[in-house]
Amino acid sequence: MQPVSALKGVGPRVAEKLGRLGLHTIQDMLFHLPLRYQDRTRITPVGSLMPGREAMFCGRIELADVVYRGRRNLLCRVADGTGSVLLRFFHFSGAQRDSLQRGVLMRCFGEVRSGQTGPELIHPEYELLPAGSEPQPENRLTPVYPTTDGMHQLSLRRLIGEALDTRLQGIREWLPDEVLDLLRLPTLREALDFVHRPPPGAPVGVLMQGRHPAQQRLAYEELLAHCLGLRRLRERIRQHDAPGIDADGALFRRLVLQLPFALTAAQQRVIGEIVEDLRQRQPMQRLVQGDVGSGKTLVAAAAALHAVEGGWQVAIMAPTELLAEQHWRNLREWFAPMDIEVAWLAGRHSVRARRSMSQLLASGRAPVAVGTHALFQREVGFHRLGLVIVDEQHRFGVHQRLMLREKGAADGRIPHQLIMTATPIPRTLAQSVYADLDVSVIDELPAGRQPVETAVVPDSRRDTVVQRVRRACLEKRQAYWVCPLIEESDALELQTATATEVALRQALPELQIRLVHGRMKPAEKEQVMAAFKGGEVDLLVATTVIEVGVDVPNASLMIIENAERLGLAQLHQLRGRVGRGAAASSCVLMYRAPLSAAARERLATMRATSDGFEIARKDLEMRGPGEVLGTRQAGEQQFHIADLVRDQSALPQIEKVATILLDRYPQHVAPIVRRWLGIRGSYADV
């Protein structure tokens, strides 16, 4: 395909900017789809402008003035008989200022905000209209493209327009007829043209929601491209050798004997699946999904012991230091009786400490290493790495997965990989998002867990909540009082937690109250936690440090302050700290009014269910997969046009079509993947 520089007006500088958007060829331009549309097909009366919405309106300038409020502002009041609105400019030329005269008629477009004196817009797009003219709305929707610094929306729109005019005809249909017949959707060319330039009269609402057949056609192909890309990645990994690890499970049996409980059937089944994979000479690529508290750590330990028994090393990676430390403590305790050394590698360790850990690993003296991604820095070498375990994988995207798998083991073989997540997602979705992985589900909680009864209470009823804590603790139960992040600052979080602790001590003098937070020294933290675990402390005031890992079965009441600020996944994790013992547990979600609609929905969901799958489904619906699965944080591109939640029902069919293509049209696969994933998805050119 021709490079972008074949377009008129694209010199080296523009080409470089387009390159930053991943646009290298003209085909890339055609597949750079609008993020959304602006609706300039209606003129909104100024009196009905709504803050937070984009709108087009017309009116006359009533007043224009330059004022100094710290900096120079050009203010312009525009009215149309139904109301008035303020336009605010911080950067303006003399000519611009002179043109904005009282009485001039203008058409304006932008996002409305609520200002001090009513609705206002900052730097709106505007156009002056000749006196006496009748303002006209546009007759088609305006596409808005993802762009980058220095690449103006209008220029991008023009370049894409040119690509459509001159090159759309050359675009190839890679879906075979039998698939097209199945789809009954527009052809690729029709769809691309429609989506870039919806014709006049195109249904605005349907397009805005992304449900037009032209959009569906493209979304379908995009999802297919991802699915194909991941399946090929899987195939590529399969071509590598992995150590076939033989062991008869003696070490794990020893661990099980030490445990005060029996494995659940689900744990046994999943461990069986993993061990079977580990015996193969093909690399395991397995994802374990299991709700909070379903006992994933033990499953990881089983996998690790199998590898160690077979003479291989294991690396266990967690997304945060806290979680890594937690695993390290757990495993060290479990493995100590078997004389298995567990090395711990954290970013905050001194260079010297890290070096000595690295030596332990490189020499093979430590069979197990736990750490954050620091484990996978270049300088860390393993003697015989046979298995990589990644915990809480939802925070790592495909790229990270790929990087890990490429981390070679001894003699050209690559390690087996096990990924664990507590963000369970629906099966159809998992098959698509993790098309490169086999999925095991721990679909059972240890026996005796009772659902946590959850109440949602405004913080104006704090006194009642405090009394509830008193009653519970006097009955010899224990409680958590969680003070989550108020501002984006550890220091402030700490301040709130400290103040809360003081207030609670005053209100509840008869109780033993302690505070635990992230800034405490590990030894101090451990001492407080041990006292809580030992029952000497009734009420533990905590920051969200206790989100993961803390396990005190006698604690059966949890209060979460500012619950309205937390996401569903985090609330679910926190609540998972109670309901672990024999007693019935409860959780009070305290909020500060007024609640946003989204917060209200989150809290209602938490009250309605304790099923992690259900909560994840709701989370996906509310936030979208990019946020929930962490691909956005991981810096991975979102889909151009597909939406995993909206388009979920198409996924099973897409799976089938992917199989048809791989089996019968293998030469079509690479062009489809490249077209949609370009060079951005490194798994595209696998």
Site residues for ligand ADP per CB under 6 A: 261, 263-264, 267, 290, 292-298, 422, 446, 551
Closest distance of CB 550 from Mg ion, Å: 11
Q: Residue 267 binds which entry of ligand ADP, Mg ion, none, with Cβ cut-offs from 5 to 8 Å by kind?
A: ligand ADP
Q: Residue 261 binds which entry of ligand ADP, Mg ion, none, with Cβ cut-offs from 5 to 8 Å by kind?
A: ligand ADP
Tokens of 486: 């108020």
Closer to ligand ADP by CB, 94 or 260: give it.
260
Q: Residue 30 binds which entry of ligand ADP, Mg ion, none, with Cβ cut-offs from 5 to 8 Å by kind?
A: none
Whole-angstrom Cα distance, residue 222 to residue 344?
Answer: 41
Closest distance of CB 263 from ligand ADP, Å: 5
Q: Where are the beta strands (DSSP E) in 257-357?
A: 285-290, 313-317, 342-345
Closer to Mg ion by CB, 55 or 263: give it.
263
Closest distance of CB 296 from Mg ion, Å: 5
Per DSSP, the three-state class of 428 is: helix
Q: Residue 423 binds which entry of Mg ion, ligand ADP, none, with Cβ cut-offs from 5 to 8 Å by kind?
A: none
Single-letter code of the amino acid located at 226: H
Q: Residue 56 binds which entry of ligand ADP, Mg ion, none, with Cβ cut-offs from 5 to 8 Å by kind?
A: none
Residue 474, Cα to own-chain centre: how many angstroms? Answer: 41
Query: DSSP characters for 291-353?
Result: -TTS-HHHHHHHHHHHHHHTT-EEEEE-SSHHHHHHHHHHHHHHHGGGT--EEEE-TTS-HHH
Residues in the chain: 686
End-to-end CA distance of the chain: 19
Closest distance of CB 204 from ligand ADP, Å: 46
Closer to ligand ADP by CB, 178 or 333: give it.
333
Whole-angstrom Cα distance, residue 301 to residue 335?
Answer: 9
Q: Residue 293 binds which entry of Mg ion, ligand ADP, none, with Cβ cut-offs from 5 to 8 Å by kind?
A: ligand ADP
Whole-angstrom Cα distance, residue 434 to residue 440?
Answer: 12
Phi, psi at residue 85, to the nearest 5°? -145, 150
Tokens of 248: 């008869």
Q: Residue 601 binds which entry of ligand ADP, Mg ion, none, with Cβ cut-offs from 5 to 8 Å by kind?
A: none
Closer to ligand ADP by CB, 264 or 431: give it.
264
| Residue that has been written with the tokens 């993790």 in this structure | 434
Closest distance of CB 300 from ligand ADP, Å: 8
Q: Residue 426 binds which entry of Mg ion, ligand ADP, none, with Cβ cut-offs from 5 to 8 Å by kind?
A: none
Which residue is at the shortest CB distance from Mg ion?
A: 296
Whole-angstrom Cα distance, residue 389 to residue 379?
Answer: 19
Write the interaction track for Mg ion spanning residues 289-328; mark x where CB under 5 A is met and - where it is not: -------x--------------------------------
Closer to ligand ADP by CB, 227 or 566: give it.
566
Single-letter code of the amino acid located at 199: P
Tokens of 327: 């695993």
Whole-angstrom Cα distance, residue 595 to residue 602?
Answer: 10
| Residue that has been written with the tokens 């017309």 in this structure | 58
Closest distance of CB 421 from ligand ADP, Å: 10
Closer to ligand ADP by CB, 110 or 295: give it.
295
Closest distance of CB 569 from Mg ion, Å: 13
Closer to ligand ADP by CB, 333 or 453: give it.
333
The site that binds Mg ion (CB under 5 A) totals a number of residues, namely 1
Closest distance of CB 551 from ligand ADP, Å: 4
Q: Residue 295 binds which entry of ligand ADP, Mg ion, none, with Cβ cut-offs from 5 to 8 Å by kind?
A: ligand ADP
Query: DSSP characters for 361-412?
Result: HHHTS-SEEEESGGGGSTT---SSEEEEEESSGGGS-HHHHHHHHHS--GGG
Tokens of 341: 């050394």
Q: Residue 311 binds which entry of ligand ADP, Mg ion, none, with Cβ cut-offs from 5 to 8 Å by kind?
A: none
Going by the DSSP 8-state scheme, the letter that residue 3 receives in this structure is: B
Instruction: Classify the phi-psi angles of 83: left when phi > 0, otherwise alpha if psi is within -120 to 50, otherwise beta.
Output: left
Q: Residue 551 binds which entry of Mg ion, ligand ADP, none, with Cβ cut-offs from 5 to 8 Å by kind?
A: ligand ADP
Closer to Mg ion by CB, 226 or 296: give it.
296
Closest distance of CB 277 from Mg ion, Å: 20
Which residue is at the shortest CB distance from ligand ADP?
A: 295
Closest distance of CB 422 from Mg ion, Å: 6
Closer to ligand ADP by CB, 206 or 439: give it.
439
Whole-angstrom Cα distance, residue 408 to residue 399?
Answer: 16
* Among the listed residues 312, 445, 332, 460, the one whose alpha carbon sits nearest the alpha carbon of residue 382: 312
Closer to ligand ADP by CB, 39 or 291: give it.
291
Closer to ligand ADP by CB, 290 or 415: give it.
290
Whole-angstrom Cα distance, residue 267 to residue 670?
Answer: 39
List all residues 6 or more positions away from 302 whose beta carbon is below 8 Å from its beta carbon. 252, 255, 271, 274, 275
Closest distance of CB 372 from ligand ADP, Å: 17
Q: Residue 290 binds which entry of Mg ion, ligand ADP, none, with Cβ cut-offs from 5 to 8 Å by kind?
A: ligand ADP
List all residues 6 or more positions away from 461 whose beta carbon is below 8 Å from its beta carbon. none
H/E stretch holding 471 reads helix 462-474
Closest distance of CB 83 from Mg ion, Å: 55
* Among the listed residues 171, 549, 138, 541, the one whose alpha carbon sits nearest the alpha carbon of residue 330: 549
> What is the binding site for Mg ion (CB under 5 A)?
296
